[in-house]
Structure 1
Amino acid sequence: MGNVNLNVFFQEKRQLLSHFASQFTSDYDEKEDLIQETYLRALKSIHDFINDPKLVTWLYVIMKNVYINQYRKEKRKNVIYDYFLHADSSAYISTNLSENKMINEDIQKAIDSLSTENAEIFRLHLDGYKYHEIAELLQVPEGTIKSRIHMTRKALQQKLKMYDHA
């Protein structure tokens, strides 16, 4: 990487990254988060791309992946009740914030009661990772991942059956 000052480098790319972020969101704070996360991920391999003509494309792909992962995570969070209980969420998600907080705490306790390995696999799944991605990350056969997620979901349904209004 030589004499390249990373602070100067990223300041030079900030306007470009801001433009990229505008393609994903109009919210200022979300744009800033995307830019910062892109910086963090780019730092890991910047030495491989600093003089590469495809640097801009590489930064865009990083930002796009960050956005997609955040979207998947948020999407999963929004449907977690339905995911666990296979019921119409409008039937039991109350506007009462304290009730929602209690439900969230119960879900978290149920997840925390899992074995460390199954909890990790299930959290990755909730974060939006595909079966094959989890299998590759943990170096476990994809079939094993599928069956553990299935068994974990069934165990969580059993622990949270008090919320099943189907």
Structure 2
Amino acid sequence: MENADLNVLFQEKRQQLNHFASQFTSDYDEKEDLVQETFIRALKSIHNFIHDPKLMTWLYVIMKNIYINQYRREKRKNAIYDEYVHTDYFDTISINQTENKMIHDDINKAFESLSEDNAEIFRMYLDGYKYQEIAEVYDLPEGTIKSRIHVIRKTLKEKLKMYQIN
């Protein structure tokens, strides 16, 4: 299928996808992001669904999964930040931008100390991927992924222990 044909198809379906996105968020920019990300992900397999009467159902499922993964990612990021930096503690203390930058730099250094594979595995975990999905990407047993994530969390916790409150 040529780019012009895809462009026409996506323009035809854009209004319906915008309506679908309204079910997940009322924020205009978030809706646009959802629609665009749906198109991007759909490009990988569009040739399988181009003439399928269930095309919109397939696009809706893609959009729904994107939204769920974003929600999980945001929830995990907040949980990780709370676990390793304890925002409750910092809420009670006035923190200026320099301190925030230092914390951010320390977190980045801790991530950079991980091997490339472990860093990517943990990013996938933070992005909301399930253990089984990560295992499939790395062609490893699910138990190995669980074990690695446990060790990575322990390593990060140790490297960022200066921010923990006992």
TM-score using structure 2 length = 0.90
Tell me, in whole angstroms, the C-alpha distance in 2 between the residues paired with 1:67 and 1:20. 11
Change (3 A) 1:142 1:3: closer
Aligned-pair distance for 1:80? 2.0
| Corresponding residue for residue 55 of structure 1 | 55
In structure 2, the residue corresponding to 1:114 is in which secondary structure?
A: coil
Q: Do the aligned partners of 2:110 and 2:160 also contact (CA within 8 Å) in 1? A: yes
**What SS class does the counterpart of residue 5 from structure 1 fall into?**
helix
Offset at residue 69 of structure 1 (A): 1.4
Residue 143 (str. 1) matches residue 143 (str. 2): yes
User: C-alpha separation between the residues in 1 aligned to 2:140 and 2:159?
Assistant: 26
Map 1:41-120 → 2, pairs under 5 A? 41-84=41-84, 89-93=87-91, 96-98=95-97, 99-120=99-120
Displacement of 1:160 in angstroms is: 0.7
Are the structure 2 counterparts of residues 47 and 38 from structure 1 closer, same or farther at C-alpha, using a change threshold of 3 Å? same
Residue 140 of structure 1 aligns to a residue whose secondary structure is coil
Distance in 1 between the 2:3 and 2:130 partners? 40
Alpha-carbon distance in structure 2 between the residues aligned to 1:155 and 1:2: 48
Q: d(CA) in 2 for partners of 1:76 and 1:23?
A: 23
Change (3 A) 1:25 1:95: farther
| TM-score normalised by L of structure 1 | 0.90
After superposition, the Cα gap between the structure-2 partners of 1:30 and 1:2, relative to the gap in structure 1 and judged at 3 Å, is closer
Task: Mark the runs of 5 or more structure 1 residues left unpaired by the alignment.
Answer: none
- Structure 2: which 5+ runs fail to align? none
1:117-152 CA-partner distances (Å, limit 9, x unpaired): 111111111111111111111110111111111111
In the TM superposition, residue 4 of structure 1 has moved relative to its aligned partner by 7.3
Q: Is the 8 A contact 1:124 1:134 kept in 2?
A: yes
The 1:162–1:7 alpha-carbon spacing in structure 2 relative to 1, beyond 3 Å, is same
Q: Contact conserved, 1:92 with 1:165, CA < 8 A, in 2?
A: no
